[in-house]
Copies of this chain bind each other. A is one copy, B any other.
Amino acid sequence: MHSHWNDYPTIQNKLQVVCSFLEKQLTVRNKDIQDALVEFSQAGGKYLRPAFFFLFAELGDPKKQNEEELIKVASSIELLHMATLIHDDIIDDSPLRRGTLTVQAHYGKDIAVYTGDLLFTLFFEVLIDVMNGSPFMATNAQAMKGLLLGELDQMNLRYNVNQTIDDYLLSVNGKTAELFWLACLEGAHFGKTSPQIEALAGEIGRNIGIAFQAYDDILDYTANEAILQKPVLEDLTQGVYTIPLLLAKTKNPAAFAPLLEKRANLTEAEAKEVAALVVHYQGVEQAKAFARSYTEKALAGIQELPAGAAREQLERLTKQLLKRNH
């Protein structure tokens, strides 16, 4: 398990069980896919969504909880996450993810399409195993749809210089925040908290998701490749204009126009020019303030939760998102 969780002893062990459970699920008769799946699952994913799931579950009554159920629901969330990552990497033509070759770069697009599909199937298999008949089946389908629509929004907005912060938010709400919403909501639900805590958990998850994505987008402009473990400015060169650029551009659209007009023909040197303009027009600082406002909303929500070790850890983890560099 990722060293990240050494400071979170109550969930570290549970994440390890999720990891083992996932490995068992990822058994198929096709060797290439099997290799791709296992390699991908072991490539250092942080299991951030299952972690939030377990922290919210800890707010509930342990006597009412079913440990196996919790492990399976947490695993289903990670399976959905993995499936969408693999298909996203096809769309983005990404060579690297988590410091290793992406499935599509290593095995080709064909295998990546089916590997992602297979993960969607495993996601539903686990759901059916653990919650068939529950209204949370529909909640999961809704989350999966929300994720995809967010990705599609982002694809539709490519190279669109007229997109607004609201466009960005709609896409991020789907592609990233939806899964944090689901993880926190399901943690509270299957951890047997209360309807009030469930509602709060979903809201906290959504705010964490938006903050998380905004920091991710900031890193594209501030981190170096070695730390990020993937190419920097990748979004920009793909025509995905994220919050630092969108905020900087409002200060002087004309400065950006000649570069962004080049669309897919933007060179690496020109991408660096855009990045310099983003920094010059306080895009990074403004984006940090934007992200911080969502982190603060999340922290305010967390303060409304029952006091205790789980709340303390949730607060600490959420604050850590402000400091992360990869």
Residues of A contacting B: mostly: helix
Alpha-carbon separation in the docked complex, A153 to B28 (Å): 11
Is A223 part of the binding interface, using a Cβ–Cβ cutoff of 8 Å? no
A121 touches B137 (CB 8 A): no
Specify which of B90, B109, B110, B149 is in contact with A29 (CB 8 Å cutoff): B149
Q: Known pairs A117-B120, A118-B148, A121-B145; list 13 more (Cβ under 8 Å).
A: A28-B149, A29-B149, A32-B156, A87-B113, A90-B110, A91-B110, A113-B116, A118-B152, A120-B120, A121-B141, A121-B144, A124-B141, A128-B138
Alpha-carbon separation in the docked complex, A109 to B132 (Å): 33
Is A125 part of the binding interface, using a Cβ–Cβ cutoff of 8 Å? yes
Q: How many chain copies?
A: 2
Inside 8 A of A110's CB, which chain B residues have their CB? 90-91, 155
Which has the most chain B C-beta neighbours within 10 Å: A114, A128, A138?
A128
Chain B: CB-nearest residue to A126? B141
Specify which of B124, B132, B148 is in contact with A117 (CB 8 Å cutoff): B148
Alpha-carbon separation in the docked complex, A28 to B132 (Å): 26
Q: Shortest beta-carbon distance, A269 to chain B, in Å? A: 26
B114 touches A152 (CB 8 A): yes
Alpha-carbon separation in the docked complex, A134 to B91 (Å): 36
Is A31 part of the binding interface, using a Cβ–Cβ cutoff of 8 Å? yes
Is A3 part of the binding interface, using a Cβ–Cβ cutoff of 8 Å? no
Is A161 part of the binding interface, using a Cβ–Cβ cutoff of 8 Å? no
Inside 8 A of A124's CB, which chain B residues have their CB? 124, 141, 144
Q: Interface 1/0s, chain A 254-280, versus B by CB < 8 A?
A: 000000000000000000000000000
A91 touches B120 (CB 8 A): no
